[in-house]
Structures are given as C-alpha cells and as structure tokens.
Chain A
Amino acid sequence: MTLETELLPTTPAKLAVEGVSKTFRTARSTVHALDQVSLQVSEGEFVCLVGPSGCGKSTLLSIIAGLEKPDAGRVLADGAPVSEPGRDRMVLFQEHALFPWLDVFDNLMFGLKLKPGLSAAERREVALYYLQLVGLERFAKSNIHELSGGMKQRVALARALAPNPKVLLMDEPFAALDALTREQLYGDIQRIWAERKKTIVFVTHNVREAACLGDRVILFSPHPGRVQEQFRVDLPRPRDINSPELAGHATKIMRALKGHLKQEDQEVAE
C-alpha cells in the first residue's frame, strides 16, 4: 500500500440488513428495540434513519458497526457478514469520544497506527491530510478540552475518516451542537461525502437534518423498532437546510412521523 492509494477515495461498500431483531432485557423490563428490520443501502448512498427515541435506530447503527450483536438476522457489508467492528465501518458518536489523554494529532494517529501497511511517515501524512480536510491543521497539538464542541466533532470526523473506511456510521453526531455550528457541519459533511465517496448511514431525530443530508430518509416507528416508511430526497447538492424545497420534504416526513405517533396514542387510548 502506498500513500497515493491510501489517500484515494475508497470504493464505498453496500450494506444489507436482513431480518435484524434485538431485545434488551434488564431485571425490570424488556425493550424490543428492533423487530425484523431489513433494509438495503447501496454503494455511496447517504441514508438517514429518523424516528422518535426508542425506535432502535441507534441500536441498528451499533449492530451495523459490529459493536453489538443482533438476536436474529444479520448485516452484510459488501456481501460479507458483520461479526465484529472493523475499520471499513467507522463510527461517529454523539459524544465526540475523543481520547482526552492524547492531543488532536495523536487522536487521529490512534486508528492509523493500528492500520497495517503504512510507514510512520505515511501515517503522519495521512493524519495531516484529514486534519486539513476538516480545516483544523492549526490545532494538531491542541488538547481536546481546548476545542469548541463543533471543533471536537470535526476532529472526531477526521479520526473516523483517517483509516479510509468504506462506510461511515453517524449516531446523532450534531445533536449537542448549536444551530450555527450545525449548519456549518452540514456543509462540511456533504463536501466530504462527495470528495471521499463514502456510504453514510446517519441517525438523527431531526427530520430537517435528515432531509438536508440524505439521498433517502428511512422513518422508523418505535415499540418495537420497525421501518415504517421511506422517502427519497431528490434535491441538488450541496443543500441548504433553510431552502423552501427542503422544507417541503421535511414537512412530508414530519407528517408521516406525527401521523404514526397519533395513531399510537389512539391505540393506547383504546
């Protein structure tokens, strides 16, 4: 492997989720997080999973990442069953999950050092490349706590991109940020997605965010978590979250989401 091939965009992977079920049991309660969920994500697609809390969307993301095992069903990444975490599928968590005992640069190096086939100099160059990609090369030697929330999430993004994964799994990565920072990151993530050619699965409860980012928005319903409905968003990119066309799509999805919630309330009332 050379630096040139390492820095080339990867061929993105396609994902297949086949009949995945997951139940969490504690001493007091049983939560049926996912029930027979099946879905396909094609190469290089940007898919958003939306739904109210408790619909199992984050659980599904963990299962695709290989961080959790399904009770039934399986996930295929490029046809190969997922059984454990792998650097072809990197995760961006809601909490940035950066290591406070390392500086920014060494956080990026953590995953790169574990990737075989690169020399030490090449690893440093790759890390620098991704820091530049998120516009934070000046902060290479900074400590994590010195960064703002948005900058931390950018570093986390760079760290997730550094091993050049085929799939990027994002678990409400912008939920804790202020609106302005979030808008900037919407721009960044669309640019990086186009440049680096990743398959992205993005979990959010923010319908507008989903419509802004996704080629496709998959709406989940809770108790148990199921795929309720899917929406295709055919708007040109880069998209502006404040555009009226986008608002139209978001409204449509929101209506479906609320319709389901109302239906559920009625069921409870009956």
Chain B
Amino acid sequence: MKRALTAICFFASLLIIWQILFALKIWSPVLLPAPLEVARYLKGAALDGTLWTSTAVTMKRLIIGYLIGLAAGIPVGMATARLRVLRDTVGVLALGLQGLPSVCWVPLALLWFGQSEGAMLFVVIMGTLWSVILATETGVRNVNPIYIRAAATMGSKRLHTLARVILPASLPFIVSGMKQGWAFAWRSLMAAEIYVTILTGFGLGHLLHFGRELNAMEQVIGVMLVIVVIGVLADKLFFSPWENFLHRRWGTG
C-alpha cells in the first residue's frame, strides 16, 4: 500500500512538472502540449475506436510473432546446447544475429514479404528468436549434471529427461531470454510500424507516425504513453509473476 502510494505521488509530480513547463510557455504549445490535451486526444481515440483497433493490430503482430519465435527458439536452443556441431554453427549464427538490431531486418522483410503482415511477423520473429536461442542454450548448459543422473536412476530417459528435467532446470535462464526477446521484438515492431506503412492494418506505430505528419503532438505523446503502458503491463502481468514464482521456488533473489 505504501509502495503504491509512493508510485502514485511520483507520477503525479511528473504530471505537475509537465503542466508547469507547459504553463511557463518556454516551448510553443505545438511542440509541448498540455497534459489535458493529451488526455483529450486519448479519450477521443478511445471513443472513436482508433486506439483499440491499432492496439489490437500491433498486439496481434507482436504476440503471434513472439510465440513463433519462442516455439522455434527454445527447441533450437536446447539442440545447440546438446550437440556440439549445432553449437559451432547455429550457435555462432545466433550470437551474431542477436547483436544485430532487429530493425535492420525491416528493409529485407519489405522486399521479401511486401508491405504485409508477413513482413511485420518476420521482424518480430527475428527480434525474439536469437535471444531465446542463446538464453536457452546457456540455461541448458548450466544444468547441474547431478539432476540428470538422479533422474536417470528414477527411470527417466531421453525425451522425458529433456522435458521434465533439463527444461525446468534451465527455466530461470529461459525466462530472462524470453524477456529480452520480448523487449527486442517490441522495439523493432514499433520502429517498423513508424517508418513503413503496412497496408493490411494500422498499428500503434502508424498512429504515432500520423501524429507527426499532422503536427499533432498530443497524438504523438498520447500514443507513446499507450506504448509505455503496454510495456509495463506485459512486465507486471506476464513476466513478473513468473519471475516471482521462480525466485520463490528456487530461493533466489
């Protein structure tokens, strides 16, 4: 309760500082709109539905691409950890491509897939995949071999050991890789949506882009706020509970 109060006070004072800066008229109101203007925009966009449809378009791209990235990345990461041939090939590739900001894939994606959902999915997958592969590989290689030996004495073999021992034992690493993959995917999707008009649906990035074209800074800032809130919600609703569970179970943190 006290922590919630502290947070509320903090954000309220940010709003007040913003309002004061606006009232001082240091910058033109075109460049720095009042907080109320932004609120008014958000209310309007929520009422006429553009905010919801854009959010839905963006989240659909993000979630589908992310899930594909996980579904591919976790098994590939486990394979690279277990097989030296794959570690020396796919593992090195993953290390290299993870260092590549995934927005760099946008030009290629547009050439390959056109201005379509395919291009957006591709960018999100490229953002997710490599982090998840690397984190899974690290996780699996850090599994204490004694767990595998103990499981073997209890009759656990190959696939069972992989699914019931190696996978859960590497979860702390995998979850942090998933979190990083999510962050990369989210950033690159926003970049792609802002700079490329995708004909199959306008996402949050487009809304932000239109705001700039119309010189409507309250729209730009409003959409930015929505993007921030989605990021915070994803963390608090999805990743935090999972991390907390792991900390409680493993006694870490």
Give chain B nearest CB distance to A10 CB in angstroms: 16
> Does B154 count as interface, using CB distance less than 8 angstroms?
yes
> A85 — which chain B residues lie within 8 A by C-beta?
152-153, 155
- Note all chain A residues with C-beta closer than 8 A to B248: 143
Find out whether the CB atom of B155 lies under 8 angstroms from the CB atom of A115. yes
CA distance A66 to B168 in the complex (A): 25
Query: A110-B164, A114-B160 are known contacts. Are A100 and B250 too (CB-CB below 8 A)?
Result: yes
Contacts A87-B154, A99-B169 hold; do A93 and B149 have CB atoms under 8 A apart? yes
* Residues from chain A with Cβ under 8 Å of B164 in the complex: 110
Residues of B within 8 A of A87 (CB): 153-155
Q: Which residue of B lies closest to A99 (CB)?
A: B147
Partner of B154, one of A84, A110, A144: A110
User: CB distance B154 to A111 under 8 Å?
Assistant: yes
Q: How far is the CA of A111 from the CA of B147 in the complex (A)?
A: 13
Q: Is the CB of B150 within 8 A of A91?
A: yes
With a cutoff of 8 Å between Cβ atoms, the chain A residues found around residue B144 in the complex are 95, 97
Residues 141-172 of chain A, each 1 if its beta carbon lies under 8 Å from chain B, else 0: 00111100000000000011001000000000
Q: Report A-chain residues with C-beta under 8 Å of the C-beta of B160.
A: 114
B25 at the interface (CB under 8 A from A): no
CB within 8 Å for A145 and B250 given contacts A95-B146, A101-B171, A114-B160: yes
**Distance between A107 CB and nearest chain B CB, rounded to angstroms:** 10
Q: Which residues of A contact B249 (CB under 8 A)?
A: 100-101, 103, 143, 145
Distance, CA A86 to CA B154, complexed state (A): 7
Contacting residues of chain B (147-185) with chain A, CB-CB under 8 angstroms? 147, 149-156, 160, 164-165, 168-169, 171
A100 vs B149: C-alpha distance when bound (angstroms): 15
Chain A residues with CB under 8 Å of B149's CB are: 67, 91, 93, 97
For A67, list chain B residues within 8 Å (CB): 149, 152-153
Tell me how far the C-beta of A209 lies from the nearest C-beta in chain B, rounded to whole angstroms: 22
* B151 neighbours in A (Cβ, 8 Å): 110
- How far apart sit A85 and B169, CA to CA, in the bound complex (Å)? 21
A65 at the B interface (CB under 8 A): yes
Residue A69 lies at the interface, judged by CB distance under 8 Å to chain B: no
Q: Count contacts on A: residues with CB < 8 A to the other chain.
A: 29
Interface residue? B251 (CB, 8 A): yes
A98 nearest CB across to chain B (Å): 8
For residue A84, which residues in chain B have a CB less than 8 angstroms away from its CB?
152
Distance A246 CA – B146 CA, assembled complex (angstroms): 34
| Alpha-carbon distance between A160 and B168 when the two chains are bound, in angstroms | 21
Please give, as numbers and ranges, the residues of chain B lying within 8 Å of A13 by CB-CB distance: none
Least CB distance from A75 to B in Å reads 14
Contact B251 A90 (CB under 8 A): no
Query: Restricting to B107-166, which residues have a CB under 8 Å from any CB of A?
Result: 144, 146-147, 149-156, 160, 164-165
Could you say which of B144, B155, B169, B249 has the most chain A C-beta atoms within 10 Å of its C-beta? B155
Q: What 0/1 readout, one digit per residue, does chain A (105-139) give for beta carbons within 8 Å of chain B?
A: 00000110011000000000000000000000000
Q: CA separation between A115 and B249, bound complex, in Å?
A: 26
Q: Separation in Å of the A157 CB from the closest CB of chain B?
A: 13
When the two chains form their complex, are residues B251 and A93 in contact, meaning their CB atoms are under 8 A apart? no
Query: How distant is B77 from chain A, measured CB to nearest CB, in Å?
Result: 18
Contact for A143 among B146, B154, B251, CB less than 8 A:
B251
CA distance A67 to B150 in the complex (A): 9
**What's the nearest-Cβ distance from chain A to residue B176, in Å?**
15
CA distance A97 to B146 in the complex (A): 6
Q: A89-B153, A114-B160 are in contact. List 18 more A-B contacts (CB 8 A).
A: A67-B149, A85-B155, A87-B154, A90-B154, A91-B149, A93-B149, A95-B144, A97-B147, A99-B169, A100-B250, A100-B251, A111-B154, A114-B155, A143-B248, A143-B251, A145-B250, A160-B153, A163-B155
- Please give me the 10 A-B residue pairs with the lowest Cβ-Cβ distance, nearest first: A145-B251, A111-B154, A97-B150, A114-B155, A101-B168, A85-B152, A97-B146, A85-B153, A100-B250, A91-B153
* 18 interchain pairs, CB-CB under 8 A: A65-B153, A66-B153, A85-B152, A86-B153, A87-B154, A93-B149, A95-B144, A97-B150, A99-B147, A99-B165, A101-B168, A101-B249, A110-B164, A115-B155, A144-B251, A145-B249, A146-B251, A160-B153
